[in-house]
Amino acid sequence: MKTDFIIVGSGIAGLNAALNIAEFGKVLLITKKRLIESSTNFAQGGIAAVLAKTDDFKKHVKDTMIAGCFHNNREAVKFMVKHGPEAIKKLMNLGVKFEIIEKKLALTREGGHSKNRIAYAGDRTGEEIEKTLVALVEKNPNITIWENTFALDLIAKNRMCYGVRVIKNNRVIDVFSRAVILATGGIGQIYKYTTNPEIATADGIAMAFKAGALTQDMEFIQFHPTALAIERKPLFLLSESLRGEGAILINSKGERFMCHAHKLAELAPRDIVAREIYSQQKLGPVYLDISHKNAAFIRKRFPKIYSTLKKKYSLDLTRDKIPVTPAAHYLCGGVKTNLNGETNIKNLCCLGEMACTGVHGANRLASNSLLEAMVFSEHAAEKIKIKRDEIKTVNKPALHLTKISSSQTCASRVIKEEIKTLMWNNVGILRSKSRLRETLVELRRLEKLLPASTTNIEIAEVKNMLTVARLIIEAAIKRKKSLGCHFVV
C-alpha cells in the first residue's frame, strides 16, 4: 500500500506534524494503542517559553545550557527558544486552554528556570494539548488514523527509507511513502521505576538504529526527583511545579536538605535534586510537603494531583507529607537529527522525545520537552511539505505472522522484568564502569534467548528495549567523566 507521508506516534510531536503535513498530502498516522496513549497525555507541569516582559531569550537559552551542563547544541537551543512564543500562540489558536489570570497567561516556575516562564493548564497540561490535537486530527480528511497498529520495522535500504512495516489486525502490512516521520516517544519502560506510560518501550529508536540511523547522548537518562514512592506501574508523578509553588523536600528526620545542596534549593536542576533524594533515601523515606500553603489554593492549582492522591492513595496533599522517589522520566538523547528533524537516513525524520536535536545536552531543563516537540515538529513539517519525490518501493523479504506459544510469551515477560531491574540497579542515578560492563554482558545473554525476528508485538517490544538498553550502556561506558544525568561513582 502507498501513501504520501507516514507518521508513527500520536503524542504532541506526531499529532502536530500530521496536522501541518496534511495540508500537502495524504498522511497515514499510525499509533500502537489508542490515539491518546502517550507521554504527552501524562504531562503535568507545562510548557516553557519566553512570555513575560521581565524575561528574554538570552535567559531561557542560558538556563537551558546550565541545566544541560553546556553539552547542548547552542544553535538548536537558540532556535527552540526563539520559536517558543509562537509555539504557545499556535497551541492557543488551535484551542488549547492555558491558565489565564487577570486576562493574562499565567506563568509558573520549575527547577533550573531563573524566571516564571511555564504556561500550564492546571496540573494536566499534556492532557489539554493531547485532547485538542487529537480532535483536530480526527476531523482532518487528509489524515487516515490506524490505532492499535504496531510499527515493527522501517523499510530501508542503503540509508534510504521507503516506508514502514506494520502489524495491524494480525496482519503484516508494508506501507510505502515519500517520507517517514517517527515520533514514538521515550524509553522509560526500560527501567523498573518510571513515570512513563506503557507505550514508552523505545521502539522508534530501535527501528531507526537497525536501519543505520545514528544516535547521540543516549547515556543521559533523566530521573524525575519526585515520583510518588508507592509502587504502581507507572509511578504517579508529583509535578515539579509543586516545588515551583513552594513545596519543600524533607528527609526522614524532618529536615529540609536541599538548601545545603544547591543555591536554588528545591528548584535546583533535576539531576542534582534526584541525586540528593537518592542519597537521603539511604537514611529513610523522603517527603514532599506543601501543607504550609493555603488548602483552597492547592486544590485549585493542582486538582488532578490532589484528587488522584486522595482517591487512589488515601493521601491529602493539603495536610500530608507525600513520600517521593526519583524515577526514570526522560531520554535527553536519541536519534541524531538536524534542525529539520532529518536523520542520516534519506526520507526519515525523527521528532519529539525520541530525537536528539541537541537542545537538552546532558540534562533537560523542566518543561522544555513539550516545547522542543512542538517547535521541531512545526519546522520539520515545513521542510517535509515541499517534498515532491515519487513514492518508491523496494523489495523487503516477506514476513508471515508466526504463532507464538504461551511459554515463549511468558519467557519474554520474564526477560522484560530482568532488563528493567538490571537497568534500574546498574544503569540508574549512580553508575559504575564495572557494573555497566557486567550489565552489557547480561543483556547479550538475554538477547540470545529471544528469536532473531518476530511478528509478536510483546516480543518485538522486548527486543527493542534490549537494543536501546545496549545503546545507553555503550554510550555510558564511552563517557569517561560524570556529566549531568550520567553520574559515575
**Per-residue x/- mask for ligand FAD, residues 11 to 30, rule CB under 6 A?**
xxxx---------------x
Task: Render the burial of 428-461: b for 16+ CB within 10 Å, e for the rest.
Answer: bbebeeebbeebbebbeebbeebeeebbbbbbbb
Binding region for ligand SIN (CB under 6 A) = 44-45, 239-241, 366-367, 369
Least distance (Å) from ligand SIN to the CB of residue 113?
Answer: 10
Number of residues that this document lists for the chain: 489
Rounded CA-CA distance 30/199 in Å is 13
The half-sphere exposure of 333 on its side-chain side, counting CA atoms within 13 A, is 22
User: Which are the contacts of 142, defined by CB distance < 8 A and separation ≥ 6?
Assistant: 22, 23, 25, 26, 27
**Per-residue x/- mask for ligand FAD, residues 116 to 155, rule CB under 6 A?**
---------xx-----------------------xx----
**Applying CB under 6 A, which of residues 17, 45, 305, 466 lies at the interface with ligand FAD?**
45
Residue 31 within binding range of ligand FAD, rule CB under 6 A: yes
Q: Answer yes or no: are the C-beta atoms of 489 and 431 closer than 8 Å.
A: yes
Per the residue annotation, which of 117, 165, 243, 270 is the catalytic one? 270
Least distance (Å) from ligand FAD to the CB of residue 240?
Answer: 8
Residue nearest to ligand SIN (CB): 45
| Cell reading at 213 | 540511523
Residue 426 within binding range of ligand FAD, rule CB under 6 A: no
- Per-position DSSP letters for 148-199, written without gaps between them: SEEEEEEEEETTEEEEEEEEETTEEEEEE-SEEEE-----GGGSSSBSS-TT
Least distance (Å) from ligand SIN to the CB of residue 320?
Answer: 19
Least distance (Å) from ligand FAD to the CB of residue 11?
Answer: 2
Residue 174 within binding range of ligand FAD, rule CB under 6 A: no
- Would residue 299 show up in a list of annotated catalytic residues for this protein? no
Task: Render the burial of 377-389: b for 16+ CB within 10 Å, e for the rest.
Answer: bbbbbeebbeeee
Which residues in 369-388 contact ligand FAD (CB under 6 A)? 369-370, 373
**Catalytically annotated residues:** 270
Binding site for ligand FAD (CB under 6 A): 8-14, 30-33, 37-40, 42-47, 125-126, 150-151, 183-186, 195-196, 199, 203-204, 237, 330, 352-353, 367-370, 373
